[in-house]
Amino acid sequence: MLLELPRDLHYPITVRKITKRPGDEVKVRDALFRYTYVTKVKHGDRYTDEETEVDKIIAADFESPIDGKIEKWLVWTDDVIRHPREIIDITEPCKHAVQFNGLCTECGKDMTGIEVPAGAGSERANIQAAHDTDKLLISQEEASEVDELSKRRLLNARKLSLVVDLDQTIIHAAVDPTIGEWQKDPDNPNYEALKDVRSFKLSDDGPGMQGCNYYIKLRPGLEQFLENVAAMYELHIYTMGTRQYAQQIAALVDPKREYFGDRILSRDESGSMVAKNLTRLFPVDTRMVVIIDDRGDVWKWSPNLIRVSAFDFFVGIGDINAGFLPKTQDIPPPPKSDIKPTTNGTSENGEHTADGEAAEEANTPTDTTALQQVVAMNDPTMQEVQTKAQEETIASQLERKPLLKLQQKLDEKDGVDTTAPTESSATQNTDSDSSSDSESPSPTKAKARHSILKNDDEELVHLEKSLRLVHDRFFAEYDKKRKTTSPKTGRVAQLSGKSKAPLSDTTTEPDTLTYIPDIKRIMPAMKDRILDGVNIVFSGVLPLGTDIQTADISIWARSFGATITDKVTRDVTHVVAARVGTQKVKTAVKKGIKVVGTDWLLKSIQRWKKLDERPFLLPGIGQKMLEDDNMNADEPPKAPSSELGAQDLLEDNKLGVGPDFLLSSEDEAEALTETDEDRQQQPRRKKPKLDLQPHSADNTYPVPEGMEDTEEARSPVSDINKDEWDAIGDELKDFFGSDVDTEAESDAESVRSETSVSLRGKKRRRDEDAEGGGSGQSGQEKNGDGGRANKLQKGSGGSALRAVSNAETSGKDTPMMPQEQTQEEYEADLAAELERELEAAEAAENGSS
């Protein structure tokens, strides 16, 4: 080993005498050579008080930091050394590369004693090597070696590594003794779901939870999942539970120890109670590692992570091992679509998110920052306190029996529901204060009693698909790289001389490792595409006061390419709402933005696929839209008649401006193809203005003559210049974004429409010119499938045109098209309608309560 001089010597130094010769054996702290350096010393005068600085030459010995045999010297007597540099080559008998608890495992020396010089002892092996102990440490070189071997092995087997979390990812654990009672009672409504729940006891539990049963529910389909995934991945367990707990679970999910083997890492060895770290398991390279976990924050949203939705079988229990972590943010489920807004069911749903412990839970996580947690972790007394706190939570679960209470409440509700449905809302509202669960049971009519435990989780099926996709993609890329580059190396070897040819086998062998693509690049790229162009606003999903951008669900959605915005602006494509009736939902409806339930987002993420929004549109709003769209799409365009002129205008206009709805209602499968996706992903609000230009050129567009004339006649603002238009536009935007005031809005609209109509003539001419320039569009349009064909073509072929017209609009003035006006009108209508509906709902509700 080449020894380098330490940094803290007094450079420059001059080598004076070399005391050891090559071939000599040296021990730690033996003097290797003597050197001198010059330093300034203060020299006091004997008679005056003056001090003078004098150069002084000081001699010192350089001691060997390691044992070994000197191979050769790289410095000679009288050399002046100005910087730290290598000076000597010493061969060590033992490199102390693997150390167990401070002992070198090869020579048995204690590496932590004070006689070991800094840097030569325990510091040399600082990487934790084993899953199940934090005492075995290895050096960087040793780690790389092991890593290389394991990568080669995995590549040969065409596998990747998969780090699996336990709690709420593949299992759900609870200690509530109610579960045991239910399991013994075949009459219990939860009996079916609890059939395969297994239990065990831990011996290392603290007092208060001594001898308590841990009930473990495996996520449905787990066995199959593990079997299939184990063929593609080498599985590791990384859990925040204790070692014993982890081993018990492993014995349950993998009794033959064929999937996980010894690769189990628990919080006892993890080194941190609040964070999981991939480098703990893969210190050198994480290019081939995928993580599945229900928490993104503990991994700091690592790019290797596939965040899965939490498995919440024992409702309201949560993760029993997450006592040290900040609480998760609950995402309220969307209102069930089979409940009419007027029934008490929805009102209860709405209150559920706001009341009781759900709100409490939501408030707590923001109180403690991650930093505080980390600081707290370093303090052993704090750790003890937290361990106690966790024990207490478990003990309290034992006593409180939250599941029993939930079931009782549900039974109670069932009873009330069947006897007096109208009365129930009042009683339940008082009850819900103490409810510990944000997930409301679905109100489907079933047997006499409903079960609170449902066996309906299907995450693993989708997860397996995603994992397969990632695996296939990884190896496709790997094979491609290997194929494209290996002939080259062969060629290079050929060119560089025949002598190297026989070596090529050995030289290309290590090269295979350089072809390994990076999961950190592949997977985010795959995920990014899924919700690309989706711009989401949350409404009623996150508790007030949460930072929208750093919320769990936001980061999650963003990792799939979505954008999160806090205001409903024109760029927004989806409003994800937990309930109807919020300001944002109203605004969105007014603007024609899709309003979907949270499950649309969650399921899209779960399936790695942008799902069709229609089944997830919020009841009341979305479904109304949906119905309208269906109606329009199904009906052939009507010929405009004089009486129906206005009505037709509205409808056709809707066809024109609602490409998303139209598309989605037209053909689901088509909507998922690439081009259509692109089209869908265009910011919706930009469309009306730009897309509809040909409409005005198109004579089939049914504008009632009289209307046009009158509007044109009283246009008072036709001479507003561009700047003023911009200002007005901004103002309007703000206005629409903030509060709803139909009167003011309609005023604004009329202003807009008037001016736009006045500009239409000019615009039309321009469009005609463009068409005359030879696009085949006009002919097809005139053939007359009306706005619809036009629309589709516009969407697919018109991106360049759109860009041009974009430039145009920014360069010249911004003419408002009549379509815009009518659309606004339509939306105003819709909004008014909706508001009426909501009012009616509220009235009904008030009446019933």
Partner 1 sequence: MFFLRYLEREISIHPSFFGANIQDVLKQQLYADMEGSCNGEYYIVCIMDIYNISAGKVVPGTGSAFFTILYRAILWKPFKGEAIDCVVDSCKPQGVFCYAGPLSVFVSKMHLPHGYKYNPDATPVNYSGPDGDTIERGTAVRVQILGLRSDVTNLFAIGKMSAGWFGIAPV
Residue-wise DSSP of 338-401: TS-TTSHHHHHHHHHHHSHHHHHHHHHHHHS-HHHHHHHHHSHHHHHHHHHHHHHHHHHHHHH-
* Exposure letters 798-820 (e unless 16+ CB within 10 A, then b): beebbeebeeeeeeebbbbbbbb
199: left (phi over 0), alpha (psi -120 to 50) or beta: beta
Which residue in the list 147, 165, 414, 652 is annotated as catalytic?
165
Residues 110, 123, 431, 612: which binds partner 1 (CB under 8 A)?
110
Residue-wise DSSP of 478-516: HHHHHHHHHHHHHHHHHHT-GGGGGGHHHHHHHHHHHT-
> Is-catalytic flag, 167?
yes
Residues 26, 122, 142, 781: which binds partner 1 (CB under 8 A)?
142
Tell me the number of residues near partner 1 by CB under 8 A: 30
Instruction: Quote the least distance from Cβ 146 to partner 1, whole Å.
Output: 5
The nearer residue to partner 1, 145 or 837, going by C-beta atoms, is: 145
Residues 63, 79, 132, 411: which binds partner 1 (CB under 8 A)?
132
Residues 15, 75, 88, 104: which binds partner 1 (CB under 8 A)?
104
Residues 106, 726, 730, 833: which binds partner 1 (CB under 8 A)?
106
Of 255-263, 430-438, 477-485, 688-696, the window that binds partner 1 (rule: CB under 8 A) is 255-263
Instruction: Quote the least distance from Cβ 377 to partner 1, whole Å.
Output: 21
Instruction: Quote the least distance from Cβ 670 to partner 1, whole Å.
Output: 46
Instruction: Quote the least distance from Cβ 96 to partner 1, whole Å.
Output: 11
Query: Does 100 interact with partner 1 (rule: CB under 8 A)?
Result: yes
Query: Does 256 interact with partner 1 (rule: CB under 8 A)?
Result: yes
Extract the runs of DSSP E, i.e. beta strands, from 64-121.
68-73, 80-81, 86-91, 98-100, 103-104
Residue-wise DSSP of 17-32: EE---TT-EE-TT-EE
Residues 36, 101, 228, 848: which binds partner 1 (CB under 8 A)?
101
Q: What distance in Å separates the CA atoms of residue 134 and residue 139, rounded to the nearest whole number? A: 14
Query: Does 129 interact with partner 1 (rule: CB under 8 A)?
Result: yes
Query: Does 136 interact with partner 1 (rule: CB under 8 A)?
Result: yes
Contact set for partner 1, span 552-591 (CB under 8 A):
none
Of 131-139, 551-559, 613-621, 629-637, the window that binds partner 1 (rule: CB under 8 A) is 131-139
Query: Does 138 interact with partner 1 (rule: CB under 8 A)?
Result: yes
Query: Does 135 interact with partner 1 (rule: CB under 8 A)?
Result: yes
Per the structure block, which two tokens stand in for 36?
Answer: 């001198």
Of 107-115, 332-340, 492-500, 693-701, the window that binds partner 1 (rule: CB under 8 A) is 107-115
Query: Does 28 interact with partner 1 (rule: CB under 8 A)?
Result: no
**Residue 691 neighbours by CB distance under 10 Å:** 24
Query: Does 150 interact with partner 1 (rule: CB under 8 A)?
Result: yes
Per the structure block, which two tokens stand in for 75?
Answer: 């410095």
The nearer residue to partner 1, 115 or 643, going by C-beta atoms, is: 115
The nearer residue to partner 1, 239 or 554, going by C-beta atoms, is: 239
Of 144-152, 372-380, 431-439, 458-466, the window that binds partner 1 (rule: CB under 8 A) is 144-152
**Residue 649 neighbours by CB distance under 10 Å:** 21
Query: Does 130 interact with partner 1 (rule: CB under 8 A)?
Result: yes
Query: Does 163 interact with partner 1 (rule: CB under 8 A)?
Result: no
- Do residues 222 and 259 lie in contact, with contact meaning Cβ atoms separated by under 8 Å? no
- Do residues 593 and 684 lie in contact, with contact meaning Cβ atoms separated by under 8 Å? yes
8-state DSSP, 619: T
8-state DSSP, 255: T
Of 105-113, 296-304, 629-637, 657-665, the window that binds partner 1 (rule: CB under 8 A) is 105-113
Of 126-134, 238-246, 283-291, 319-327, the window that binds partner 1 (rule: CB under 8 A) is 126-134
Cβ partners under 8 Å of residue 634, min gap 6? none
The nearer residue to partner 1, 262 or 741, going by C-beta atoms, is: 262
Instruction: Quote the least distance from Cβ 274 to partner 1, whole Å.
Output: 25
SS (H, E, C) 120-158: CCHHHEEEECCCCCCCEEEEHHHHHHHHHHHHHHHHHCC
Burial class of 267 by CB neighbour count within 10 A (0 to 12, 13 to 18, 19+):
buried
Q: How would you classify the pairing of strands 574-577 and 535-539?
A: parallel
Query: Does 262 interact with partner 1 (rule: CB under 8 A)?
Result: yes
Query: Does 162 interact with partner 1 (rule: CB under 8 A)?
Result: no
Q: Which amino acid is at 697?
A: A
Residues 257, 491, 567, 762: which binds partner 1 (CB under 8 A)?
257
Query: Does 595 interact with partner 1 (rule: CB under 8 A)?
Result: no
Instruction: Quote the least distance from Cβ 157 to partner 1, whole Å.
Output: 7
Query: Does 157 interact with partner 1 (rule: CB under 8 A)?
Result: yes
Instruction: Quote the least distance from Cβ 256 to partner 1, whole Å.
Output: 7
Of 99-107, 181-189, 632-640, 804-812, the window that binds partner 1 (rule: CB under 8 A) is 99-107
Q: What distance in Å separates the CA atoms of residue 72 and residue 435, rounded to the nearest whole number? A: 77
The nearer residue to partner 1, 96 or 327, going by C-beta atoms, is: 96
Q: What distance in Å separates the CA atoms of residue 387 and residue 373, rounded to the nearest whole number? A: 13
> Is-catalytic flag, 165?
yes
Alpha-carbon distance values, 22 to 63, 74, 86, 100, 494 (Å): 16, 11, 15, 33, 42
- Do residues 756 and 816 lie in contact, with contact meaning Cβ atoms separated by under 8 Å? yes
Q: What distance in Å separates the CA atoms of residue 510 and residue 515, rounded to the nearest whole number? A: 10
Query: Does 144 interact with partner 1 (rule: CB under 8 A)?
Result: no
The nearer residue to partner 1, 227 or 730, going by C-beta atoms, is: 227
**Residue 396 neighbours by CB distance under 10 Å:** 13
Which residue in the list 49, 132, 147, 167 is annotated as catalytic?
167
Cβ partners under 8 Å of residue 122, min gap 6? 99, 102, 111, 112, 116, 137
Residues 14, 19, 36, 133: which binds partner 1 (CB under 8 A)?
133
Residues labelled catalytic: 165, 167
* Contact positions vs partner 1 (CB under 8 A): 98, 100-110, 129-130, 132-133, 135-136, 138, 142, 146, 149-150, 153, 157, 256-258, 261-262
